[in-house]
Structure 1
């Protein structure tokens, strides 16, 4: 089996070009029933599925998020635009953070901005954060490219061939994983500080 690592890199960089977010104006202006919520999420996040049978959001997940204080309860079995914005944020966080950590991170949004009574709306916060994240795509591509180039110089003492290519690819995966590990560690450190401060207060 021949591994074309260049193709893998190009595929990764191309996929980063297509990263986008659901804009607040794309969310229906009416409150939605649970089935409509899951359908909306499935439709908008289908391209992020790794496997075709992956579930983006289920009724059980929504109930679990409410039970664990990530999401305020529905009103008369309907979910508002604010519910939808929190569900989108939960979707992004759940791949790297525990339920407890997500609860801590989203607490200020739930408590202060969910009702829509504040001068700053939850949709404004969501939009600002997403735009900021979009600006991170180009630096991320440069970082991935650099990790790839460094991995290409790994295992130079080995004879050229399939085994060397596999180890170079392994080095690339390790480099990307290390970035994720360090960032996750930093996020958890911030969350721990937030939790400790809350307990003091």
Structure 2
């Protein structure tokens, strides 16, 4: 099997929009799309895959996934929230993302949260997650090799198939836990509204 570290390197997990990459001036939609294309373009699985489109941004705005845009310009806060949506949409539904980000949006609007600090915390966790993922992927790969070796006719194809199945299984467990936490967060928000 191809070297696992090389495969992980090719995924470009380190590609993130850093705070210093976000201009201090407000951007028009085309500029927002260009920023995302420049940052995440190398992470596409294929050329047809879209990173971010006008339709996506408009749907996020219509769905109230971030606070309202003024004069068709997107602030640094909008860029942070769109970046978080980009990360979350790989595993969560738009409804779940809206629920997860609603409290963040409200706090940002009323001045109760510095989005830059929140985003920096997210980026720190992302870097930590990448390091831990590398170690965990090695463990999953070793397990797949061990189990494939126990099979009659065990070869690289069976090993790779077992590794894929194991990784998807882990991904499903993480996604389901994230969904459960999103449900709890939404329930807590509704309870808080009802108690006002």
Normalising by structure 1, we get a TM-score of: 0.88
Q: 1:141: Cα distance to partner?
A: 0.9
Query: Secondary structure of 1:32's match?
Result: coil
- The residue aligned with 2:30 is 35
Asked whether the 8 Å contact 1:114–1:122 carries over to 2, the reply is: no
Query: Secondary structure of 2:147's match?
Result: coil
- The residue aligned with 1:21 is 16
Indicate the larger mover: 84-93 or 126-135: 126-135
For residues 65-123 of structure 1, what are the alpha-carbon distances to aligned partners after superposition, in whole Å with 9 as ceiling and x for unaligned? Answer: 011111222101111110011111111111110000000111111111146x34x4101
Query: Secondary structure of 1:22's match?
Result: coil
Instruction: Give the distance between the partners of 2:163 and 2:85, measured in 1 at CA.
Output: 29
Q: 1:53: Cα distance to partner?
A: 2.6
- The residue aligned with 2:163 is 172
Asked whether the 8 Å contact 2:145–2:159 carries over to 1, the reply is: yes
Asked whether the 8 Å contact 1:31–1:78 carries over to 2, the reply is: yes
- The residue aligned with 1:52 is 47
Instruction: Give the distance between the partners of 2:33 and 2:131, measured in 1 at CA.
Output: 31
Q: Structure 1 runs of 4+ off > 6 angstroms?
A: none
Partner of residue 94 from structure 1, selected from 73, 89, 92: 89
Specify every segment of 5 or more residues in structure 1 that has no aligned partner in the other structure, as ranges: none
Specify every segment of 5 or more residues in structure 2 that has no aligned partner in the other structure, as ranges: none
- The residue aligned with 2:151 is 157
Number of positions where the alignment pairs a residue of Structure 1 with one of Structure 2: 191
Asked whether the 8 Å contact 1:20–1:134 carries over to 2, the reply is: no
Report the CA distance shift for 1:152/1:32 in structure 2 as closer, same or farther (over 3 A). same
Asked whether the 8 Å contact 2:22–2:79 carries over to 1, the reply is: yes
Partner of residue 189 from structure 1, selected from 167, 180, 190: 180
Asked whether the 8 Å contact 1:37–1:84 carries over to 2, the reply is: yes
Partner of residue 131 from structure 2, selected from 138, 149, 163: 138
Asked whether the 8 Å contact 1:16–1:141 carries over to 2, the reply is: no
Instruction: Give the distance between the partners of 1:174 and 1:159, measured in 2 at CA.
Output: 18
Q: 1:18: Cα distance to partner?
A: 5.5
- Asked if 1:83 is matched to 2:78, the reply is yes
Query: RMSD of the TM alignment (CA)?
Result: 1.8
